Every structure is written in structure tokens, then in C-alpha cells.
């Protein structure tokens, strides 16, 4: 498909899109006709592979390095994003921002260290707060912001107190963003996946059959989730047909622990 005949596309920036749910989200967006800016922390090769997959779908994509836990780097990242938008799309705005990047760090409440706590908060809350702030001038009016949370803000699993608390803060932030950005027509929502078979948390849900079965038995639809259960849902939330959905926490868990 040539640039002269290419269907006009939205541009979505997906953080942490070199693997897992971020990768699936980026590919799902491309399959529905969108272009994507893929960010990655350290896996440049994996990120470029995602870009190649998106291009094979007939869409455009670029990969940019970003540490979402390093607030001091956001100004430089914003400038690199501006340059990439001009070079690839001859545009100066993105339509959507998906704050997905994150990591798991298992520790009981009593054994959680300050370093573990700080890293979780830096990546999952402080980073989301200040990256969104830095990129806000680049988000088009009428755009969309999706913040990833977790089913663990509704139910408890020992070992994830700090992680879930940081995600809970993101859910509150989402409502405030929806209120403050509503005048610009920007919808802001939270997507909260349940247990998913990815490499998150060392791949425990994917690779531990006993845990997988235990969680499946707690789920109304009788299994744990797959990345393909999440990415397409996020892509649908970015669609113009969902323009009236904002300030919502949408759990995508197959009915976990009802």
C-alpha cells in the first residue's frame, strides 16, 4: 500500500509494547487500521520485530526507547517523539496514549523493601502521572488515554500489596484525568486485566499448571486469560464508537472471583 492510497490512520503510543500485553495491544490496534508508536525499555530487537509485524499488516510504526520509571528522561523522549511523528507521519500529534509498561515484584507486605516499593511506584504510578503530563500537548483533542491497572485492586493476592496499591492510585488518577481533560474531548479509562498467561511475574500464571488451574476455577468463563483477550478490547476502547465511555475501570478477567 503506498502512502498516497493509505487509509488515514490514528496514531497510538503504547508503552512497554515489545512483549506481553503491550505487544498484543499494538498489533490489535494495527489490525483495526491504526498506526503505532512502540516504546521499549531495553529489548530493542523485540520492539523492532513488533514494528515489522505492524508494517506487515499494512500500517506504519516506529520504536522508541523509554524508561517509564525515569521521569527526568521524559522531556528528551517527548522531543524524540516529536521528531519521529514528523519524519514518519508528517504530523505533530498522537491520537491515543496507552500507559501499559510495567513489571511485577512479588514480596509479602512484611518483606517488601523500600527499593522494591520505590521502583513499583516510579514505574506504575509516578511514571504514568508525569509521562502523561509530558505528552499531553501532543495528544490531539478528542483523543483517548488508556491506563492499565490490574484485577488485584479489586481482589487480594498476598505478595502484591505494593504493586496493587500503585495500580489503585492509577485508577484514581484516571478519574481525575477524565474530569480535567474532558473539556478537550479526551476520554480516559482504566483497563484492569485479570490473571493472564504472559511472562509477567516470571510467567507464573503461564508456566505453573497448578496456579493456572486454581485461577481458572475462580473464573466464571473457566480459564485464565490470554493476551488476545486484552489487546483487542483495548483497541475497541480506542475506537470512535466508544467516544462516550470515560472515567471507567473496565475489568477484563472473564469473571474472576465473582
Concatenating the DSSP letter of every residue in 92-141 gives: S-EEEEEE---------GGG--HHHHHHHHIIIIIHHHHHHHHHGGGEEE
**Structural domain includes residue 1:** no
User: 28 near 53, Cβ under 8 Å?
Assistant: no
Share of the chain above pLDDT 70, in %: 97
Q: Where are the alpha helices (DSSP H) in the chain?
A: 20-31, 44-56, 74-89, 114-121, 127-135, 161-181, 204-207, 209-217, 227-238
**Structural domain includes residue 84:** yes
**Structural domain includes residue 6:** no
pLDDT, tens only, 185-223: 999 999 999 988 877 767 778 878 888 888 899 999 999
Of 40, 160, 163, 176, which one is the catalytic site residue?
163
**Structural domain includes residue 221:** yes
**Structural domain includes residue 3:** no
Q: What is the CATH number of the domain that holds 159?
A: 3.40.50.720
Q: Print the domain residue range for 216.
A: 11-252
Kindly report the backbone phi and psi dihedral angles of residue 155, in degrees, each rounded to the nearest multiple of 5, phi listed first.
-120, 165
Q: Is 40 a catalytic site residue? A: no
How sure is the predictor about 3, in pLDDT bands with cuts at 50, 70 and 90? very low
- Report pLDDT for 52: 98
**Structural domain includes residue 132:** yes
Structural domains of the chain, count: 1
- Give the residue-averaged pLDDT of 177-192: 98
Amino acid at each position: 500500500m503506498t502512502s498516497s492510497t493509505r487509509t488515514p490512520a490514528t496514531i497510538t503510543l503504547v508503552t512497554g509494547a515489545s512483549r506481553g500485553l503491550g505487544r498484543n495491544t499494538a498489533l490489535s490496534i494495527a489490525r483495526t487500521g491504526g498506526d503505532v508508536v512502540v516504546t521499549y525499555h531495553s529489548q530493542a530487537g523485540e520492539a523492532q520485530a513488533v514494528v515489522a509485524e505492524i508494517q506487515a499488516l499494512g500500517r506504519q510504526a516506529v520504536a522508541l526507547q523509554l524508561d517509564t520509571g525515569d521521569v527526568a528522561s521524559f522531556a528528551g523522549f517527548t522531543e524524540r517523539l516529536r521528531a519521529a511523528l514528523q519524519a514518519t507521519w508528517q504530523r505533530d500529534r498522537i491520537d491515543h496514549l496507552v500507559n501499559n509498561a510495567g513489571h511485577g515484584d512479588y514480596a509479602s507486605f512484611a518483606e517488601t523493601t523500600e527499593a522494591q516499593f520505590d521502583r513499583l511506584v516510579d514505574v506504575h504510578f509516578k511514571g504514568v502521572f508525569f509521562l502523561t503530563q509530558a505528552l499531553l500537548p501532543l495528544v490531539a483533542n478528542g483523543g483517548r488515554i488508556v491506563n492499565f491497572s490490574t484485577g488485584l485492586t479489586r481482589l487480594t493476592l498476598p505478595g502484591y500489596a505494593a504493586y496493587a496499591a500503585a495500580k489503585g492510585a492509577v485508577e484514581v488518577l484516571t478519574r481525575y484525568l477524565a474530569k480535567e481533560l474532558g473539556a478537550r474531548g479526551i476520554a480516559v479509562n482504566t483497563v484492569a486485566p485479570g490473571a493472564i498467561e504472559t511472562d509477567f511475574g516470571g510467567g507464573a500464571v503461564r508456566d505453573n499448571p497448578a496456579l493456572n488451574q486454581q485461577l481458572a476455577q475462580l473464573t466464571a468463563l473457566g480459564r485464565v486469560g490470554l493476551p488476545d483477550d486484552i489487546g483487542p478490547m483495548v483497541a475497541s476502547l480506542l475506537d470512535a464508537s466508544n467516544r462516550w465511555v470515560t472515567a471507567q475501570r473496565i475489568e477484563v478477567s472473564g469473571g474472576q472471583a465473582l
